[in-house]
Amino acid sequence: MPILPTFVFSIFLQADIMRSVPFDAKFLKTLEALNLLARRTLAGDEHSDRRTPRKGASIEFSDYRRYTPGDEIRYIDWNVYARHGSLFVKEFSAEENLHVSVLLDTSRSMEFGDKFQAAKELAAALGYIGLANYDTVSLYAFGSELRMVKKFLRGKGRIFELLSSLEALRAGGGTNMRAAFKAALPRVRGRSLVLLITDFYDLAGYATAVRELLAQRFEVHLVHLVAKEEAAPTARGRLSLLDLETGRARDVALLPRTIEAYRRRFDLFCSEVEEFSRSHEMPYARVLADDPLDRRVVDVLRAGGILEHR
Q: Output the CA–CA distances (angstroms, integers) from residue 70 to 67, 89, 111, 308, in the order listed.
A: 9, 11, 31, 27
**Residues 98, 190: contact at Cβ < 8 Å?**
yes
Sign of the Cα pseudo-torsion (310, 133, 152, 16, in order): positive
Chain segment 248-292, per-residue pLDDT in tens: 888 989 899 999 999 999 999 999 999 999 999 999 999 999 999
Q: How far apart are CA 213 and CA 229, in angstroms?
A: 31
Residues 85 and 178 in one domain: no
Chain segment 210-252, per-residue pLDDT in tens: 999 999 999 999 999 999 999 999 888 998 888 888 888 889 8
Residues 88 and 17 in one domain: no
Which has more confidence, 118 or 62? 118
With a cut of 90, say whether residue 45 has pLDDT above it.
no
The CATH number of the domain holding residue 250 is: 3.40.50.410
With a cut of 60, say whether residue 163 has pLDDT above it.
yes
- Of the pLDDT bands very low, low, confident and very high (cuts 50, 70, 90), residue 14 is very low
Torsion on CA atoms 179, 190, 161, 57, rounded to nearest 10: 150
Q: How far apart are CA 232 and CA 12, in angstroms?
A: 40
Which domain range does residue 135 map to? 6-41+96-309
Residues 68 and 144 in one domain: no
Residues 179 and 296 in one domain: yes
H-only helix segments in 177-227: 177-180, 206-215
Q: Does some domain include residue 234? A: yes
Residues 274 and 207 in one domain: yes
With a cut of 90, say whether residue 203 has pLDDT above it.
no
Specify the pairing of strand 60-66 against strand 284-288: unpaired
Residues 117 and 234 in one domain: yes
Q: Does some domain include residue 201? A: yes
- For residue 133, give the DSSP letter: T
User: How many CB atoms sit inside 10 A of residue 251's CB?
Assistant: 8
Last residue of a domain, one of 74, 93, 112: 93
- For residue 274, give the DSSP letter: H
Q: What is the pLDDT of residue 96?
A: 61
Question: Helix crossing, 115-132 with 25-32: angle to 10°?
Answer: 60
With a cut of 80, say whether residue 184 has pLDDT above it.
yes
Q: Does some domain include residue 46? A: no
Q: Does some domain include residue 54? A: no
Question: How many independent structural domains does the chain possess?
Answer: 2
Helix, coil or strand: residue 272: helix
Average per-residue pLDDT for the chain: 83
- Nearest C-alpha neighbor of 133 from the set 92, 161, 194, 173: 92
Q: Return phi, psi of residue 147, to 5°.
A: -130, 125
Residues 159 and 71 in one domain: no
With a cut of 60, say whether residue 8 has pLDDT above it.
no
Query: Who's near 179: CB < 8 A, 6+ residues apart?
Result: 144, 145, 205
Residues 140 and 242 in one domain: yes
Residues 16 and 139 in one domain: yes
Q: Output the CA–CA distances (angstroms, integers) from residue 109 to 225, 253, 295, in the order listed.
A: 11, 22, 23
Q: Does some domain include residue 17? A: yes
Residues 182 and 66 in one domain: no
Q: Does some domain include residue 139? A: yes
Residues 170 and 78 in one domain: no
Per this entry, what is the length of the chain? 310
Residues 80 and 169 in one domain: no
